[in-house]
Amino acid sequence: MDNKLDRGLFAFAADTDADVFTGYPEVAGFKGDHETGRDAAAAINEKIGRLKRLVRDAIAASGAEGLTPEECAEKTGIPRVSVQPRFSELKLLGVIVPSGVRRTNPSSGKSAVVWIAIEPVQGEAA
């Protein structure tokens, strides 16, 4: 498979020094100088490649209908707190784009952006 996700975008940062996370969106980022954010980013980096791929594949499999982060979390069974940041990373990587549609999140009643993949999943027609 030759797409953006397979070209080395899943770097694992084993070190927790702040400058290790300058690789965002390839690795999880964090805000501020708090150790908790740094520790959380380091912990998720152990799984980030798998999570990005699962999220991206779920979005791609939904086709033109797309998914909101909440819908993706429900569809994949991955907690929304783990799914939501992957959307930001995939957007910055140019793998997903907003569809121009918004849907209401059942949990909050608020409107959410629906995202679509710009590359089909391998084996699917473009």
Residue 125 lies in a domain: no
User: Which one-letter DSSP state was computed for residue 92?
Assistant: H
Q: Is the pTM of this model over 0.75?
A: no
Give 92-110 pLDDT, tens digit per residue: 888 999 999 999 999 999 9
Segments forming the whole domain that contains residue 72: 4-117
Residue 124 lies in a domain: no
Q: How far apart are CA 13 and CA 108, in angstroms?
A: 34
Residue 123 lies in a domain: no
Residue 122 lies in a domain: no
Our count of domains for the chain comes to 1
Residue 56 lies in a domain: yes
Q: What is the CATH number of the domain that holds 88?
A: 1.10.10.10
Query: Bigger pLDDT: 55 or 19?
Result: 55
Give 26-81 pLDDT, tens digit per residue: 555 555 666 666 666 555 555 567 888 899 999 999 999 999 999 999 999 999 99
